Structure 1
Amino acid sequence: MQAADIFKALGSAKRLQILEWLKDPRAHFPPQRDGDLVEDGVCAVFLADKLGVSASTLSEHMRLLVAAGLVTAKPVKQWTFYRRDAEGAARVALMLGEAV
């Protein structure tokens, strides 16, 4: 994880919105048929729909968040589920504190 990756990931209002939703997924998303919202994460389909973007656009947003260490991806059946990585977020906060 490079500082540039982190700044790039945090440089989008849409990605910041995703991170905010993933802090409390039960408050922002309906129950899922497959996977627990907290344990497994939120299905990419729900994220794309709520964000109002295509699956490929969401995939790029999530790729950047995963690369920055802020989100983890988990395959469940044919879907990808994303959840906030609290430990990763803490590492990023520490790294950013040292960078400035």
Structure 2
Amino acid sequence: MNKGYLIAHVTVTDPVAYAEYARAAGEVMQGFSPKIIAWSGQYENLEGESHEKHVVFEFDSFDEAKRFYDSPGYQAARLLRAGAATGIFVLVEGQEG
């Protein structure tokens, strides 16, 4: 089965509110056990819209990544991000081997 990836590029505009979102989202994420592939280390924006934070989470499948994003817990956490950050969130299906 192909892995699923949640990729987020974010610029924080309200660090206090964003920290609350990150805490709430992290609690929900524990039930889905994704692997963190990349997390806001060194980066170079080569093209397109630039953001200050980048994260890639690997889930067991695309459906599992979508189930996390659509979950009531994450959707509640997502409301905390409104007004605290701007960004792009994408779900991508990976390829095996």
TM-score (norm 2): 0.34
> Which protein, 1 or 2, shows the higher relative CO under an 8 Å CA cutoff with sep ≥ 6?
2
The structure with more helix, counted as a fraction of residues:
1
The structure with more strand, counted as a fraction of residues:
2
